Amino acid sequence: MTEHRAATRVLVLNSGSSSLKYQLLDMRDAGRLAVGLVERIGEQTSRLRHTCVATGGTRELNGPMADHDAALKAVAGELARDGLGLDSPELAAIGHRVVHGGMFFTEPTVVDDAVLTEIERLIPVAPLHNPANLTGLRTAMALRPDLPQVAVFDTAFHTTMPESAARYAIDTKIADRHRVRRYGFHGTSHAYVSRETARLLGKAPDEVNVIVLHLGNGASASAVRGGRCVDTSMGLTPLEGLVMGTRSGDLDPAVIFHLQRVGGMSTDEIDTLLNKRSGLFGLCGDNDMREIRRRIDEGDEAAQLAFDIYIHRLKKYIGAYYAVLGSVDAVAFTAGVGENAAPVREAALAGLEGLGLAVDPARNAVRGDGARIISPRDARVAVAVVPTDEELEIATQTFALVGKDD
């Protein structure tokens, strides 16, 4: 009798304009089989770094990869060398991160030509991300046309926001004509972390209200009531909301007119200023929180002010989402800064004891990989550190859509 293997593997692809990140997972135990990254696609100095988890071996491939097709073929070659080839019957699907799904895509979606067309129609609201995501989708579909390809959208988790939170207070007709509204991003992370927070509390997701603080180089907050997002800090684009590594977050829109009229700056220059040269970087010249903390310890005033502005904005959002939710069961910190920077967590909640929010200094100082509670034992609201895992969430959503035990 021949052994019959079910298709339980999912390849997760995250295509950037010149990069391709990937992970191969086995959904029987959600374990990683391989992880890797191709950088500088389209240049002479492209590089593929591939790790086979079982052996722990890492290989590097250097040399020009002209486009995403060449990059994915190189990835397929490396996977095949580890016996994990894309032609394996154990591969159930490819799950793709797609940044913008507009209002149309509220769920992970099996991709066909109509879906590709709709993702393409959303390019005007996601000019940086959707073209790269589309390239990744088309390349993978050409390589394995017979395999389900699933798009998992960064915006989907936020499509449950009520109109009162999703609309800007501008002329409705103009807003609708140009699809101007608040979409929110990092949704895969907010979905995963809010669910994991409920699990940490020993509750079902629909039993808890959670404020999720995704603090990475990009940063966003969300208010999640009973498992459904009711507000989030990013808007039409990822520029709105919290102070980030290089993005300003909220500001008076008239700053833009002022910089145009008085500063003589072009639209593109202001776009670059607000997205790439603002936030922590614009304030003190560093966007890495480790470096900022080191400078603060040496008495650097610019770094201290950047930190204070970052924390002030964060605290405002915690207060705002507390009010939006009415009652809060947990505040969850995640992503690079949220998972690692104890001083950020402590400062963000300092003085909020009246709201039942506090951080236990000893618990906050403990370093660890897993989800953990850092509030005092008798706290009214749990404060948690919950490591995010967007690849696992994409794989889980993809497999839930296509995986069948046969």
Active centre residues (catalytic): 154
* Residue among 250, 364, 351 nearest 310 (CA): 250
Residue with tokens 């389900």: 148
**Residues 250-289: x where in contact with ligand AMP by CB under 6 A, - otherwise, as a string:** -------------------------------------xxx
| CA atoms within 13 Å, Cβ hemisphere of 346 | 11
The residue with its CB nearest to ligand AMP is 336
Minimum distance from CB of 349 to ligand AMP (Å)? Answer: 17
Nearer to ligand AMP among residue 108 and residue 216 (C-beta): 216
Minimum distance from CB of 77 to ligand AMP (Å)? Answer: 28
Nearer to ligand AMP among residue 151 and residue 215 (C-beta): 215
Token pair of 172, please?
A: 């409705």
Nearer to ligand AMP among residue 76 and residue 193 (C-beta): 193
Nearer to ligand AMP among residue 159 and residue 388 (C-beta): 388
What lies within 8 Å, CB to CB, of 216 at 6+ separation is 245, 335, 336, 337, 338
Measured distance CA(360)–CA(376) in Å, rounded:
5
Measured distance CA(186)–CA(389) in Å, rounded:
11
Cα angle 239, 195, 219; round to 5: 20
296-335 binders of ligand AMP (CB under 6 A):
335
| Residue 341 sits in the site that holds ligand AMP (CB under 6 A) | yes
Interacting residue with ligand AMP among 104, 175, 340, 379 (CB under 6 A) = 340
Nearer to ligand AMP among residue 13 and residue 193 (C-beta): 193
Minimum distance from CB of 241 to ligand AMP (Å)? Answer: 15
Minimum distance from CB of 184 to ligand AMP (Å)? Answer: 17
Residues 246, 217: contact at Cβ < 8 Å?
yes
Residue with tokens 């949704």: 187
Minimum distance from CB of 173 to ligand AMP (Å)? Answer: 37
Q: Where are the beta strands (DSSP E) in 168-274?
A: 209-215, 219-225, 228-232
Q: Under the rule (CB under 6 A), what is the footprint of ligand AMP?
A: 216-217, 245, 287-290, 335-337, 340-341
